[in-house]
A and B are shown apart, each in its own frame.
Chain A
Amino acid sequence: MAKTYDYLFKLLLIGDSGVGKTSILFRFSEDAFNISFISTIGIDFKIRTIDLDGKKVKLQIWDTAGQERFRTITTAYYRGSMGIMLVYDVTNEKSFENIKNWIRNIEENASADVEKMILGNKCDLDSKRQVSKERGEQLAVEYQIKFVETSAKDSLNVEYAFYTLARDIKAKMEKKQEASNPPGARGGTHQLKSNDQQRKPPSWLSRCSIL
């Protein structure tokens, strides 16, 4: 069976309950929004393949239940993830404050070089806003993580966020490959490597299945 993608990235959505993780994922994978969406119990993932600089990148995006007490179970699924979206709700101060806790949670449970991005969701609800864009940006600078405000409802910046995260992961991965290539064997060997990736999913995939 022919592989339909060049890369497969495992991504993770985390953040407090109700910030819109499932809605963001639904927007990205189905391009739809449902105001009465069902709350997430346990764990699930969705797939979408995107085109990134000429490469087919299959994104496997994991969605988790947000409530604190389920973390012991959900963190079991962190391992092997290459990118994490930290989501808060701009109309909920508490969810913003908790981003710091979620970052700590990642540090304890995910691999150290995982790519991260902070999303301030529900930016369509301007009248209810509790967290300014500036505070979001400031937090991102503090942690040196990329940041964007999104709206799953109005489909604002959701595509942008996933493309950006995926591109960063791809860049990091290719840089690593290059570094591991013996000098002088550039070009041909690199090409070969890249083909290799096509047939066999990258090594992190096997890592991901050893959860």
Chain B
Amino acid sequence: MSCSSTEDLPDQYKELFTQDGVLLKACIGRPISDLNSIGMLCVVQNSDGTKCIEWRPNDLITIDSDTQDQEWAVVNTIGRRQRTLSGNMTSDYAAARARIVRIPLAELKTFKVTRNNQQMQFSTKSGVWQNTFYFQHGNAEIFVAYLKNHVKTAKTRHDRNTYVVVESNIDSQALNKSFTELDIFTENTTDVVWSLVSNFKQRPYETTMEAFSKLTDIVWSVLVYYGNEGLNGKRDVSEEVADLLTKSMSALEDTTSITKSDEYEVITVKPTLPPRPCIPRGTPLSTEKWEGLQDTEGRILEVEGVKQLIFRGGVAHSIRPAVWKYLLDYYPWRSTHSEIRKIQKRKTEEYFSMKLQWRSITERQESRFSEYRERKSLVEKDVNRTDRSHPFFAGDNNPNVLLLQDILMTYVMYNFDLGYVQGMSDVLAPLLLLLGNEVDSFWCFAGFMEKIASNFDMDQAGMKQQLLNLQQLLTFAVPDLAKHLASKDSGNMYFCFRWLLVWFKREFSFSDIMRLWEVLWTGLPCANFHLLICVAILDAEKDVLISKDYGFNEILKHVNDLSMCLDIDKILSTAEGIYHQLMSAPHLTDQIRIILGIPTAANNPNDRNEESESEDLGDEEPGRENARNQANGYTRI
């Protein structure tokens, strides 16, 4: 792209990537008046070749665009931007220019993606997030994926959402390779293995499955049992796997191109998913294995390996209290025994000081503090009707009901803006039942809430987004059921509301919900796996729902009545099977990839080689990126 027409910008200034509809939420050193305005977040290249993340307020972009013709603007965004940038230097324009936020890539230390992937924070020095952006349209995934082309990142051990910049301004080719090795392999072992399976497509199903089970065994043993040396072992295996992966990918592409070359086939043959593998569940993480995973000082080193084991089989009940504290981010995985003691001490003090805050509110204060009163009244009402039929919470004046109330009230003080929302008492009850201890339960609850905070948004945006994502997944994975639901005005998936709000708490017994939650807390094998749990449950009900031609009311009733009639192991196994089906589907769309948090086609090294003639991806035209994003519906003009 040529920018020679822009007067006040350096000759070689280039917009490499742009994302519209991004709100500047926080920026250290800027007046409040600059905040909360909408703009465009870009990756730009300066004349000296250095790159920057740049945010520009919309008033700068649209400053002199008297041509507001919608169609023209859509077709020619880049042109419009250039034109406006080259406009008159009015004083407004200068003021707006002063509001541009720049973060040189060379200085970027870490970034973090939170709030349902809609919020990004950047930091150029440790300990402070200097800038916070909110992605109003779609989410930050595409931006992150693009950013990863320019900086080499590693995810921090304790927080999957935080990326540490290991090396900035790297050569993209080299990065793509390491990306395959690092990201895909360490995070999604089973993905890679399953992708291999698609190589054996022509063989009978049984053979494939046999091969698959062998392979997974090998890879897991490398990951889990090699311990420290596994780091080297991992590399080697990963290269092999990457090779095989590339092969299998090209095999898949062949199949698609054959179909493409025959126009009739395209129309008549609907793309179907590959057969669903039946993946047996593993055994729960045992005490011995858990102890073996800690070093002499108590650190857990092979975090990904532990998570894999938990994903496969859950956790033995006796060690749940210990393991859950890590899974729920109360204890960092790599902390030593003595560090843990310190954390416990600090968190205990913190808890009780927050508890004291509300305990010391007098009646007279309360009478003039309506927001507090409302929250308190909601909590009181709900603890009295939470799992009271379970012996642990049953009977009059049950002290555990009071504990439930104290923890929730303290959480209200911890997060007053969110306050108490119905469903929270359900989320807390199994934690308290298991941990027994007030402080531990509180912090584990707070950790769980971090994972599902968007479920309780005031505007329910998080719930709506999930219901929409679920509908998209179902349409791809079980199209006939999705079609049936849509024809019965149930396409909005509202009947799954209860499942999602409290992560299936109402659908399973205590022992089953503990199993399901610990598996989901691992974050494996992909983002939003809980939505695939929904798909798995619905898939099992498909025949009933369709053959009995259930309508709007019956669908809701049937789904509500599934409560306590579901087989957790079967569902987990099916959900994982569906995951692998999706991963190996040649027609997998970016929409689905984004939901599952896997690299999109735009970010997939294999596709990229095919598409891009130029070696240096940094030179890729933003126009092309834009077109692609528009096709995915992620960039709005």
Residues of chain A having any CB pair with chain B under 8 Å: 17-18, 36-39, 41-45, 60, 65-67, 69-70, 72-73, 76-77, 92, 94, 208-211
Given contacts A44-B556, A209-B552, 11 further A-B contacts (CB under 8 A): A18-B381, A39-B425, A41-B423, A41-B426, A43-B494, A67-B421, A67-B422, A69-B456, A69-B458, A72-B460, A72-B464
The 8 Å CB contact of A94, one of B374, B382, B456, B557, is: B374
CB pairs A–B below 8 angstroms (6 shown): A43-B494, A45-B557, A70-B422, A76-B494, A94-B374, A94-B377
Given that A70-B460, A94-B374 are contacting pairs, would A36 and B388 also be in contact in the complex, using a CB cutoff of 8 Å?
yes
What mask results when residues 414 to 438 of chain B are scored 1 for a CB within 8 Å of chain A, else 0? Answer: 0000000111011000000000000
User: Which chain B residues border A36 with CB–CB below 8 Å?
Assistant: 384-385, 388-389, 394
What mask results when residues 567 to 606 of chain B are scored 1 for a CB within 8 Å of chain A, else 0? Answer: 0000000000000000000000000000000000000000
Q: Across the interface, do B460 and A211 meet the contact criterion of CB distance under 8 Å?
A: no
Q: CA separation between A76 and B385, bound complex, in Å?
A: 26
User: Which chain B residues border A45 with CB–CB below 8 Å?
Assistant: 553, 556-557
B538 contacts partner chain A, Cβ-Cβ < 8 Å: no
User: Which chain B residues border A211 with CB–CB below 8 Å?
Assistant: 489, 552
From A39, A42, A72, A209, residue with most partner B Cβ within 10 Å: A42
Q: Across the interface, do A38 and B385 meet the contact criterion of CB distance under 8 Å?
A: yes
Q: CA separation between A124 and B457, bound complex, in Å?
A: 36
The 8 Å CB contact of B385, one of A37, A65, A69, A209, is: A37
Which partner residue on chain A sits nearest B490 by CB separation? A211
B93 contacts partner chain A, Cβ-Cβ < 8 Å: no
Residues of chain B having any CB pair with chain A under 8 Å: 374, 377-378, 381-382, 384-389, 394, 421-423, 425-426, 456-460, 463-464, 488-489, 492, 494-495, 497-498, 501-502, 506, 551-553, 556-557, 560
Q: CA separation between A36 and B393, bound complex, in Å?
A: 10
Which partner residue on chain B sits nearest A68 by CB separation? B458
Q: CA separation between A38 and B488, bound complex, in Å?
A: 29
User: Which chain A residues border B386 with CB–CB below 8 Å?
Assistant: 38-39
Q: CA separation between A38 and B421, bound complex, in Å?
A: 15
Which partner residue on chain A sits nearest B388 by CB separation? A36
Q: CA separation between A72 and B459, bound complex, in Å?
A: 8
Q: CA separation between A210 and B489, bound complex, in Å?
A: 6
The 8 Å CB contact of A209, one of B384, B422, B488, is: B488
| Count of CB-CB pairs between chains A and B under 8 Å | 83
Q: Across the interface, do A41 and B552 meet the contact criterion of CB distance under 8 Å?
A: no
User: Which chain B residues border A38 with CB–CB below 8 Å?
Assistant: 385-388
Q: CA separation between A56 and B386, bound complex, in Å?
A: 37
Given that A41-B506, A44-B556, A67-B378 are contacting pairs, would A73 and B494 also be in contact in the complex, using a CB cutoff of 8 Å?
yes
Q: Across the interface, do A60 and B553 meet the contact criterion of CB distance under 8 Å?
A: yes
Q: CA separation between A42 and B559, bound complex, in Å?
A: 12
Q: Across the interface, do B497 and A43 meet the contact criterion of CB distance under 8 Å?
A: yes
The 8 Å CB contact of A17, one of B381, B456, B495, is: B381
User: Which chain A residues border B464 with CB–CB below 8 Å?
Assistant: 72
Q: Across the interface, do B385 and A73 meet the contact criterion of CB distance under 8 Å?
A: no
User: Which chain A residues border B423 with CB–CB below 8 Å?
Assistant: 41
Q: Across the interface, do A73 and B552 meet the contact criterion of CB distance under 8 Å?
A: no
User: Which chain A residues border B551 with CB–CB below 8 Å?
Assistant: 209
A160 to chain B, nearest CB (A): 26
Q: CA separation between A205 and B557, bound complex, in Å?
A: 17
A72 to chain B, nearest CB (A): 5
User: Which chain B residues border A94 with CB–CB below 8 Å?
Assistant: 374, 377
Which partner residue on chain B sits nearest A66 by CB separation? B422
Q: Across the interface, do A44 and B560 meet the contact criterion of CB distance under 8 Å?
A: yes
Q: CA separation between A203 and B570, bound complex, in Å?
A: 42
Q: Across the interface, do B460 and A209 meet the contact criterion of CB distance under 8 Å?
A: no
Which partner residue on chain B sits nearest A60 by CB separation? B553
Q: CA separation between A43 and B493, bound complex, in Å?
A: 12
B563 to chain A, nearest CB (A): 10
Q: CA separation between A210 and B552, bound complex, in Å?
A: 8
Q: Across the interface, do B385 and A42 meet the contact criterion of CB distance under 8 Å?
A: no
Q: CA separation between A67 and B553, bound complex, in Å?
A: 23
Q: Across the interface, do B501 and A43 meet the contact criterion of CB distance under 8 Å?
A: no
User: Which chain B residues border A70 with CB–CB below 8 Å?
Assistant: 422, 460
Q: Across the interface, do B460 and A42 meet the contact criterion of CB distance under 8 Å?
A: no
User: Which chain A residues border B389 with CB–CB below 8 Å?
Assistant: 36
The 8 Å CB contact of A65, one of B394, B422, B557, is: B422
B54 to chain A, nearest CB (A): 36
Q: CA separation between A43 and B208, bound complex, in Å?
A: 44
6 A-B pairs closest in CB distance: A36-B388, A18-B381, A42-B498, A42-B497, A41-B498, A209-B552
A39 to chain B, nearest CB (A): 5
Q: CA separation between A92 and B381, bound complex, in Å?
A: 12
User: Which chain A residues border B489 with CB–CB below 8 Å?
Assistant: 209-211
User: Which chain B residues border A65 with CB–CB below 8 Å?
Assistant: 422
User: Which chain A residues border B422 with CB–CB below 8 Å?
Assistant: 17, 39, 41, 65-67, 70
Q: CA separation between A123 and B604, bound complex, in Å?
A: 65
